[in-house]
């Protein structure tokens, strides 16, 4: 059961990115397609938060978006993420 939960936690942000990319124009705010691919592979939570800031906050990096990006980066690069892989 813990392995299944770990697998779900690892795949969830990437699954959300794939669904958003296929069904919406959510990633139209990202300048180049290569950034979407790199974000999908290396920093999926950060990519999702970056695009959320572009859509919901109009691309303005105030206090709340900055705190969110720090949390997203911490989730993506935390030592626990290496154990999941």
pLDDT tens-place string over residues 3-32:
787 777 778 899 999 999 999 998 888 877
Q: What is the predicted pLDDT for the residue at 50? A: 94
pLDDT at 72: 92
Distances in Å between the Cα of 72 and the Cα atoms of 3, 21, 60 are 23, 19, 17
Whether 59 and 53 have beta carbons less than 8 Å apart is answered as yes
pLDDT 10s digits, 29-68 = 887 788 889 999 999 999 999 999 999 999 999 999 999 9
Q: Quick one: pLDDT at residue 7?
A: 76
Would you kindly state where each structural domain of the chain is located, as residue ranges?
2-84
Taking the model in full, what pTM does it have? 0.81
């Amino acid at each position: 059961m813990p392995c299944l939960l770990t697998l779900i936690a690892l795949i969830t942000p990437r699954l959300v990115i794939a669904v958003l990319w296929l069904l919406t124009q959510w990633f139209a705010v990202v300048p180049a397609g290569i950034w979407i691919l790199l974000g999908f592979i290396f920093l999926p939570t950060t990519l999702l938060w970056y695009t959320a800031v572009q859509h919901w906050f109009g691309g303005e990096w105030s206090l709340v978006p900055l705190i969110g990006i720090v949390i997203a980066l911490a989730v993506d690069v935390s030592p626990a993420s290496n154990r999941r892989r």
